[in-house]
Structure 1
Amino acid sequence: MASVTFEQVTKRFDDFVAVNNLNLEIEDGEFLVFVGPSGCGKTTSLRLLAGLESITAGQICIGDRPVNHLSPKDRDIAMVFQSYALYPHMSVYENMAFSLQLQGIKKGEIRKRVQGAAAQLGIEKLLHRKPKELSGGQRQRVAVGRAIVRKPAVFLMDEPLSNLDAKLRVQARKEISKLHQDLNTTFVYVTHDQVEAMTMGDRIAVMKDGILQQVDSPSNLYNHPSNMFVAGFIGSPAMNFFEVEQAISNGKPSLKLAENLISIPDYLPQFMVDGGVTFKDRPLTLGIRPEDIYHPQYLPADIVTIAIKATVNLLEMMGNELIVYLETANQIEFVARFDPRATVKQGEALNVLWDVNRLYLFDREMETVLM
């Protein structure tokens, strides 16, 4: 087992900066997930750690050992690729044993490790088969098993579930999370799927345009995003954003959203009310998550709300929830997640209720969170 440290790591491809000054410490035994949209630098960061790409600037350490100039085979890592990268002419046993043979490990020890990993993954009966005879889920297990037998200090996984169907992805997520608990080894995992990130990671590193935006626990990323990008990326459906203006309601500072006034004196940042940067000096964006918008029939107790009148444009019944797309008379569109028992019809006008204690306020230009 080992920790992983990125120290001011930068990777350039000619004039393109794929990873920009990445500083990140991954603890020994931690499950760290890199997440972000395509081209954000998450896979490049993993490849830099694996030694599959050279670093332009900075340093990567595994444990206390700098590994910049070490080849992949000398870094004590094992990687599971998106394509699984199994040798088609070899059996499952041979695929899992191959790296151990290259290390000169004795046949008895190789057999013990391969059979142990196969039993752990439930693929003992597949050891004689070739990859073409396996399903996608079975190939994924073989690729993971090939990594397990090496007993590396760090496991690296690059979107290993993206080729699986929805049901298998859920099952494989559980299996990989259990595997991490059993092995108690450092896992570094890359995905574009924020559901995978939220359900699997001890911490999540959110990236955009090669820059680390925030690294935190799933709960803190969801409840305390540091900027608009993180707030909009974490959560599905995504957070609703609205341009708002300063207003005064009954002598108190408020936010004006079309014809609606939202009073927020208890949550207004102090610097915005006494001197310095004033409320009206900055363009503001208001955010609220779909799950914090309620149908009047199913409002939880003790929630302070504001009513917003809107028309239902579209409904998506998901079984355990009802996703509702709404639009106000001023053509402001937003999404709500209702209790599935709510009686809602397309074209219906509703006074939906927003939880004012769950509002977010952002500086529109800087995209930083203010509230």
Structure 2
Amino acid sequence: MLKTENLSVGYGNYVVIKDINLEINKGEILCIIGPNGAGKSTLLKTIASYLKPLSGVVYLNGKIVHNLKPKDLAKEMAVVLTERVNPGNLTGFDIIAIGRYPYTDIFGRLSKRDKEIIYESAKLVNATHLLEKNFFEMSDGEKQKIMIARALAQEPKILILDEPTTFLDANHKIEITLLLRKLATEKKLAIIVTLHDIELALRIADKMVLIKDNKIMAYGYPENIMKRETVNKLYDLKRANYSEIIGYFELKSNPKKDLKIFVICGGGSGANVLRYLVKNGYNVVVGVLHKNDADYFIAETMNLKIIEEDAYNPITDENFDKAVNEIKTCDIVVCTNFPIGEINKKNLELIEISKKLGKKIIFYDGDISVFKNVLK
């Protein structure tokens, strides 16, 4: 549907990104990510014909985008940018109605069909209650809904959005990203979007483009390209690691305190404990964890020392002894409310051994304040 061939974008003689070869079809979401200043917005504006390409071509259904008349292009492609707008006293209805300009007569009169499409567009984004509300009175989330509805009123085949979740709270970020997935799936729109939130991008994108250092660093299915080494390099991460299993980042362990803590956990019960201890600079050892355990993936991403066991295998005497030796050198043992089964029941013995060794034991049941008066 839309593709770029050897596209280079930028300003004047300055090339921001070169050799761009992308393709998106109806019903797909192409998400562009990268550090600030990488050229994501420049690429979007060039695809949308706001900027002329320095070289190469953007095709839309076989036609060169930059050769299309604005009114014809507006019937095929709609754009929502990050710039805040100040439309005075216009209502939600008035803003959405602007999307009908490619179809109205020279006087801009709205037909019955135009009004129906305005209402349908508002309904698609769950914003019919905003039709009579002044735009300047709306929250950022409400404004974003109206701007997307305005774009939908153009009845486009391609929707382009630049950072649509900027300025939004968590609830509205999720709502907007889920809306994009719905539009792609149900309305068969091809959507090109830039996002800062990798976690949300992974949940909705069919394809992803990673941009850095004036070039496309990776392009393809997110499940194929979003690997630790690639994402760490994309953002020049030094104090954190990306995990494709978790789909986000974890802080790397960087102990600043002498206190050494052994954590007995499993089944995800240790996630909050490990994050609390690592961000506060404690020296943490964790075990015995199976290599398919949720806590294992978190601890491994943090670069923690792990006493590990192969997936589905009962804890061996060798690994049990390794854990005991670590506990002997620790100041505090933390035990979470982990699920107990045949393969990890030896972890219960670690608690009893910790008691015999006279170790201070903290039993964590979900309230992190249990550490407040114990850890200094």
TM-score above 0.5, yes or no: yes
Pair 112,223 (structure 1): closer, same or farther in 2 beyond 3 Å: same
Indicate the structure with greater helix content.
2
Amino acid at match of 2:188: N
Per the alignment, in what secondary structure is the counterpart of residue 187 of structure 1?
strand
Indicate the structure with greater strand content.
1
2:43 pairs with one of 45, 49, 63: 45
CA distance in 2, matches of 1:28, 1:49: 16
Per the alignment, in what secondary structure is the counterpart of residue 225 of structure 2?
helix
CA distance in 2, matches of 1:345, 1:38: 37
- Consecutive unaligned residues in structure 2, runs of 5 or more: 254-298, 331-363
1:237, distance to aligned residue in structure 2 (A): 1.9
TM-score normalised according to structure 2 size:
0.62
Partner of 2:354: none
Pick which of 48-57 and 100-109 moved more. 100-109
Cα offsets for 1:93-121 (capped at 9, x unmatched):
11111231453265101111011122222
Partner of 1:124: 128
Pair 79,227 (structure 1): closer, same or farther in 2 beyond 3 Å: closer
Q: Tell whether the 8 Å contact from 2:26 to 2:157 is kept in structure 1 after alignment.
A: no
Q: Tell whether the 8 Å contact from 2:207 to 2:220 is kept in structure 1 after alignment.
A: yes
1:30, distance to aligned residue in structure 2 (A): 1.1
Per the alignment, in what secondary structure is the counterpart of residue 67 of structure 2?
coil
Per the alignment, in what secondary structure is the counterpart of residue 181 of structure 2?
helix
1:209, distance to aligned residue in structure 2 (A): 2.1
Partner of 2:220: 216
**Alignment: residue pair count:** 275
Pick which of 71-80 and 120-129 moved more. 71-80
Residue 202 of structure 1 pairs with residue 182 of structure 2: no
Residue 61 of structure 1 pairs with residue 69 of structure 2: no
1:297, distance to aligned residue in structure 2 (A): 8.7
Residue 179 of structure 1 pairs with residue 195 of structure 2: no
CA distance in 1, matches of 2:48, 2:55: 16
1:217, distance to aligned residue in structure 2 (A): 1.9
Partner of 1:100: 100
Identity of aligned residues (%): 20
Pair 16,295 (structure 1): closer, same or farther in 2 beyond 3 Å: same
TM-score normalised according to structure 1 size:
0.63
Amino acid at match of 2:249: P
Q: How does 1:133-172 map to 2 (within 5 A)?
A: 133-172=137-176
Pair 345,62 (structure 1): closer, same or farther in 2 beyond 3 Å: same
Pair 51,289 (structure 1): closer, same or farther in 2 beyond 3 Å: farther
Per the alignment, in what secondary structure is the counterpart of residue 66 of structure 2?
coil
1:124, distance to aligned residue in structure 2 (A): 1.5
Partner of 2:271: none
CA distance in 2, matches of 1:47, 1:340: 51
Partner of 1:77: 77
Pair 232,89 (structure 1): closer, same or farther in 2 beyond 3 Å: same
CA distance in 2, matches of 1:340, 1:57: 60
2:34 pairs with one of 29, 33, 36: 36
CA distance in 2, matches of 1:303, 1:81: 55
1:212, distance to aligned residue in structure 2 (A): 0.6
- Consecutive unaligned residues in structure 1, runs of 5 or more: 242-287, 313-338, 349-371
Pair 163,227 (structure 1): closer, same or farther in 2 beyond 3 Å: closer
Amino acid at match of 2:149: G
Which protein has the larger Cα radius of gyration, Structure 1 or Structure 2?
Answer: 2
Partner of 2:91: 91
Q: Tell whether the 8 Å contact from 1:238 to 1:289 is kept in structure 2 after alignment.
A: no
